Every structure is written in C-alpha cells, then in structure tokens.
Amino acid sequence: MFSADLYASDRRKYQFQTDAESVTAVYFKAVAFAFQQGAALIQCVAIYDGAVCERQSHQAPVKVWHQVDHRAAGQS
C-alpha cells in the first residue's frame, strides 16, 4: 500500500492511496486521480509507504516529484 499527497497550482492538496507494483505506478495513478478531481496543474507529488491514516507525523516520503517552471528559472 502506498499513499500520496499532491499539491496543485491553486494550492489545493489531494490525498490518494492505492496498491501498486512501483512508486512510479503510484505517481501515474495519483496524478490521474487529481486531474479527475479537477486539478489543472500538479506542482508537487509526495509518495509514502502505507495508507494515509497510518502515516506517522515524522514519516518521510519515499519519493518526491516537483514541477519546475523553466521560464521562471530563466531556462528555455
């Protein structure tokens, strides 16, 4: 079981959990879920081991993805 916190460009937080074979599979399932819920742009995805309700307050994510705005960073 994995869970994910997704943060959208409008500062909304989406939580998702699923059984998956890999962290990458969780990422794709979680992003699809957030878009179904109305998210337009995901800025950050944090994936954790275990269910949302079982997370410890100090638990670090297994993997974090950040959306980078290359124009804001001065890159093309």
pLDDT in tens, 22-73: 999 999 999 999 999 999 889 999 999 999 999 999 999 999 998 766 555 5
What's the whole-model pTM score?
Answer: 0.81
Count of other CB atoms within 10 angstroms of residue 37: 12
Q: What is the DSSP letter of 56?
A: -
- Per the CB < 8 A criterion, the answer to whether 26 and 64 are in contact is no
